[in-house]
Amino acid sequence: MSYFIPRKPWRGRIGALLGILIMALSLRAAVSVVPPLLGTVGPELGFDAATTGALAMLPPLVFAAAGLATPVLIRWQGAERVLTAAVLLAVAGQLGRAAVDSVWPFLGLSAVVMAGYGMGNVVLPPLVKKYFPDRMGVVTAGYVTLLAVGTAASPQLAVPVAELADWRVSIALWASVSALVLVPWAVQLLRDRKARDANDDGGAASAGAVAAGAGPAGSARGEGGTARAAQAPVPYLQHLNPWRSRVAWGLAIFLAGNSAQTYVYFTWLPPYLTGQGVDPAAAGSALAYFAILGLPVSLLVPLLVPKMRNPIIAVVIFAACWACGHLGLYLSPTAGTWWWITLAGLGQGTFAMALLMMNLRSRTQHGAAVLAGFSQGIGYAGAGIAPLLFGVVQEATGGWTASFAMLGACLLVLLVGAVMINPRRCIEDGVEDSVEGGIGDDGAAARSRPGETELPARAEGRPSASSGERRG
């Protein structure tokens, strides 16, 4: 039996929507605002080559640690409280590092900022599933697009704001954007609390049915008109083991392959082009252009990919864009430069796909949290070392051939992950796989009963999974 949640009006969920979108806008801004200011910040605080490298490695490594820890926090405290804690950490870290006078406190507080945003990375997919199970494609498109906007806008505004005021103001400015997240969430949670106190089910979306012989499978009791997915009280949902899930490993591998290439471009594209004879200003503009190209694909991917029977087709197209961009920059960096960057920039559609799959390959809010945390934890840990290796290999070999070959290896990793997540299989379905001898989730001795944990696949723009489909 499958659950289907009808589309509901946006009314009653506007606070959650604004909170998700503003959080997405701020997630990468604090990361990308610092590099353009290092020419000023570095000498004043005492940055050297080692500490600059440490700063570059902080985001993926701290994101990885936060990714593995956050699902436990969500299960313990709930997604909304974790989001609040993430915002408070990010705001405190940004204000603190804007006030320090030496490099190591700056790095330590930057780690606090990254921890907050790493938690935010993980908590957004389950919040989308919780509040918008009927509009996951649209909401995902919105928040992935604003994530790209924040990534591109903060480095563009960093130097102008610093020239008008000070580099400390430029860095602290984005703390105000993060703090704004708390306003719509406070409104949303107040509305939800009033609805609970009044026991007002009038605006709720009925999502549940009773599985045969299983008792009540769950309810979609609305809180202020919130459409919620049915949460079946199935024991194994509390013991999802992503370490034994083919879906979780596939998404982690996919995200690692994507993020490794992206971090290499953000770290090495300007110095590589400058070394090949490109004007430094043009090299900086090339990086901004690469970041901006994430906008159109971030908007389109969540709207189109859920309708595809085989999402791997889209992955192959984006992988071909990445490959052509890599080859062009290696073989002809000064002729056709903007074409190569355009192709590589369009390849960033794989990141939007990774975020989308965190919801399309899970059936419950708990499953989305576990899948998001594991895939980002393992994925960012694997990707974090890529920029360092790219430079080390170039220095060891005296040329760029082996370094660009490494990017080709990252593409192969991405495609391996894409093959693993292409079947319409969810992380909750792993129990069935483990019974049949496959790689599955831990924590249940019996086969999962169809219908107990299914979310409205039809509302996501994909067909409901039969037992055969769940087996892949």
CB 30 within 8 A of CB 154: yes
* pLDDT recorded at residue 32: 79
Compute the average pLDDT of residues 181-207. Answer: 67
* pLDDT recorded at residue 384: 81
Euclidean distance between CA atoms 330 and 311, whole angstroms: 29
Q: What percentage of the chain exceeds 70 in pLDDT?
A: 79
* pLDDT recorded at residue 440: 35
Which has the higher per-residue pLDDT, 429 or 82? Answer: 82
Compute the average pLDDT of residues 66-93. Answer: 89
* pLDDT recorded at residue 114: 92
Residue 346 vs residues 291, 308, 342, 385, 406: alpha-carbon distances, Å: 10, 19, 6, 23, 20
Task: Note the pLDDT tens digit of each residue in 274-286.
Answer: 888 888 778 878 8
Per-residue pLDDT band at 207 (split at 50, 70, 90): very low
Which has the higher per-residue pLDDT, 449 or 146? Answer: 146
Does residue 334 carry a pLDDT above 60?
yes
Which has the higher per-residue pLDDT, 98 or 267? Answer: 98
Q: Which of 16, 240, 221, 14 is nearest to 128 (CA)?
A: 16
Task: Note the pLDDT tens digit of each residue in 56-75.
Answer: 778 888 988 988 889 889 88
Mean pLDDT of the chain: 78
Per-residue pLDDT band at 9 (split at 50, 70, 90): low
Does residue 413 carry a pLDDT above 60?
yes
Q: What percentage of the chain exceeds 90 in pLDDT?
A: 26
Q: Which of 153, 121, 125 is nearest to 137 (CA)?
A: 125
Residue 116 vs residues 30, 95, 109, 449, 467: alpha-carbon distances, Å: 11, 13, 11, 37, 39
- For the record, the structure tokens of 53 come out as 């490298």
Which residues partner with 215 through β-bridges? 211
* pLDDT recorded at residue 291: 83
113-122, 144-153, 313-322: least confident range: 144-153
* pLDDT recorded at residue 331: 95
Q: Which of 429, 291, 281, 390 is nearest to 348 (CA)?
A: 291
Question: Three-class SS string for 117-145?
Answer: HHHHHHHHHHHHHHHCCCCHHHHHHHHHH
Does residue 256 carry a pLDDT above 70?
yes
Euclidean distance between CA atoms 294 and 411, whole angstroms: 18
Does residue 385 carry a pLDDT above 80?
yes
Task: Note the pLDDT tens digit of each residue in 210-224.
Answer: 333 333 333 333 333
Compute the average pLDDT of residues 291-318. Answer: 88
Per-residue pLDDT band at 199 (split at 50, 70, 90): low
5-19, 86-100, 289-303, 436-450: least confident range: 436-450
